[in-house]
Amino acid sequence: MAALTDDPRFAATTFVVIDFEGLTPAGRPAEPIEVAALALRPRNGQLVEIGRFESLMRPPADVPVTARDVQFKGITQRMLTSVASAAEVMAQLEARPTAPPYRLVAHHACTEAGIIARQAEHCPVFAATPLLDTLRLAKAVVPVLGSYGLDSLLGYYGIPRPAGRHRAMPDVEVTAQVLIRLLDDGCAAGRWSSLLELDMAAGLRPIQQSPAAAAEQGALF
């Protein structure tokens, strides 16, 4: 990763690996019920953890946790009853990082981008922050894989599937490991040596909501 850490823009950036777990009510966008974030900063030629955050989120009253959600994620309705709302949690999360500028990092990052955009009122900095997609990075570095799901990349790199897979923090931790491996491999292959080249390969602009969509979302909370 030395080539990247020699780039002043990359060296000055905090990479926030983020993941949401959510509910998918019919006819509505996903409602987040858990978030985790891991902040990484370039130091001495590598990415080093400088902070982490995780929290459950209380969904709207008309969005129930289904039996399939419990089976797949291990999160029950009772676990969410007395926790803070998504609006409160996203405000808390945005207040934590103190070393801008940032890049958000996620696997299949359009999902995270959509959730963050719908919470833009409560996390305006994150809502305006570009993302890097580890799925797109993987397609650039490992073009021979049949699947680019997170489990496939864990298998390719020999990273153990974590206990609690499909909970936010375990997924963030292994996504961070995949990110580091992809950055190393991409540097070794000469695919990138700067943040600009990473953005060109796997960057995602933040989603901008229309005023009408933002007003409708605000009415839900």
Q: Which amino acid is at 62?
A: D
CA neighbor of 22 nearest in space, from 161, 128, 167: 167
Tell me, yes or no, if the pTM score tops 0.85: yes
C-alpha span between 12 and 100 (Å, rounded): 8
C-alpha span between 202 and 186 (Å, rounded): 12
> Is residue 11 packed enough to be buried (19+ CB in 10 Å), middle (13-18) or exposed (0-12)?
middle
Which tokens is 63 given? 């969005």
Q: Which fold is adopted by the domain 2-207?
A: Nucleotidyltransferase; domain 5 (3.30.420)
Find out whether 1 and 183 touch, Cβ atoms under 8 Å.
yes
Structural domain boundaries of the chain?
2-207
C-alpha span between 193 and 3 (Å, rounded): 5
Per-residue pLDDT tens over the stretch 34-67: 999 999 999 999 999 999 999 999 999 999 999 9
Per-residue pLDDT tens over the stretch 139-157: 999 989 999 999 999 999 9
